[in-house]
Chain A
Amino acid sequence: MDSIPLFQLQILSAILFAIGFGTVLIRRNLFFVLMGVELMLNAANLSFLAWSRVQSGASTLEGQVAPLFSIAIAAAEACVGLAMLLAVFRSRESLDTDAFSRMKG
């Protein structure tokens, strides 16, 4: 099979990570903050997979096993994060991050 250059994959991964990071930073709706985190996890998985194609010699598939664990952790994170979002919505009736400023000094 013809291979895609490693650096294009890494640059795509960097762009996606930066977009996810920006989503976490600039959005005020809590749902978008969670989605930005998911986007960053996806970008990291893409980077793992791209590097796993680089290994030489007695190459193992460990670069392709690590994203499996990352996906499982992402599932746990989404589960707990959404439950926290539900609990926080009940106490404040809002999803705006500016509404959760009780701990501000």
Chain B
Amino acid sequence: MMGQVYFGIFAAVAVFCALSVMFSRHPINGAMALIGTMVSLAGIYSLIASPFLATIQILVYAGAIMMLVVFVIMVLNSAKEHTIPVVDGMGPLGLLSAASLGALFIRVFVGLDDKASVKMNPQAPRGDVEAISQTLFGSGTHTGGWALLFLAIGLVLLTAIVGAVLLAKRHLDTPIAQTEGGH
């Protein structure tokens, strides 16, 4: 019973913060609201017995990724951003298509025929660190090649770092030391 109450609170906070991401004026306000959404989603994750994912959500999403976003917002903090209108003439059309997409999703879930057969399984294993690492790196029969994907993710992140450094440099032919020297 208490879980249902907590879920209601977290869901209301998540939707409210997401709406204020949509309509806030300054990017910093939007980023703070997005952090609110991510933290309440982490609460929901731990309610559905996934404590490891909840921790990762807070550490990586609300911590690292949003820190990067806020950092870049502050680097580019120019007064001109305030002159960009929040919504322009195409706004109502965009809202309409987003609302119809959401309505389509909800219609699919509500209109399922055998709703009773799709239920939460109370015996489903709890997603703590040990169970997740067994699925990721274990040598049992249930490993779906996740360890290989885990290595591939390392390559993807390395490529992303190199690409980001190359993109953010002022000129492609200046060495990094010169760029940092303030030339």
List the interface of chain A (C-beta within 8 A of B): 1-12, 14-23, 25-29, 31-32, 34-36, 38-39, 42, 45-46, 49-50, 52-56, 58-62, 64-65, 67-69, 71-80, 82-87, 89-90, 93-96, 98
Contact = CB atoms under 8 A, between A and B. Distances in A.
Quick one: which of B48, B97, B142 has the most chain A CB within 10 A? B48
Given A42-B37, A71-B60, A55 B124 contact: yes
Nearest to B157: A76
Interface residues on B, range: 35 or more
Contacts of B146: 62, 65
A2 B123 CA distance: 11
Given A26-B22, A45-B57, 10 more contacts: A2-B4, A5-B120, A19-B15, A35-B69, A39-B18, A53-B121, A71-B61, A83-B163, A95-B84, A96-B84
A25 B135 contact: no
Interface in B122-138: 122-125, 127, 131-132, 134-136
Interface string B149-167: 1000100110111011101
B101 A82 contact: no
A49 B132 CA distance: 13
B118 interface: yes
Interface of B: 1-4, 7, 11, 14-15, 18-19, 21-22, 27, 30-31, 34, 37-38, 41, 44-45, 47-50, 52-53, 56-57, 60-61, 64-65, 68-69, 72-73, 75-76, 80-81, 84-88, 90-91, 94-95, 97-99, 101-102, 105-106, 109-110, 115, 118-125, 127, 131-132, 134-136, 142, 144, 146, 149, 153, 156-157, 159-161, 163-165, 167-168, 170
Closest 10 CB pairs of A and B: A18-B102, A22-B98, A25-B94, A14-B105, A76-B160, A26-B94, A83-B164, A83-B167, A31-B27, A3-B120
B121 A55 contact: yes
B176 to A, nearest CB: 14
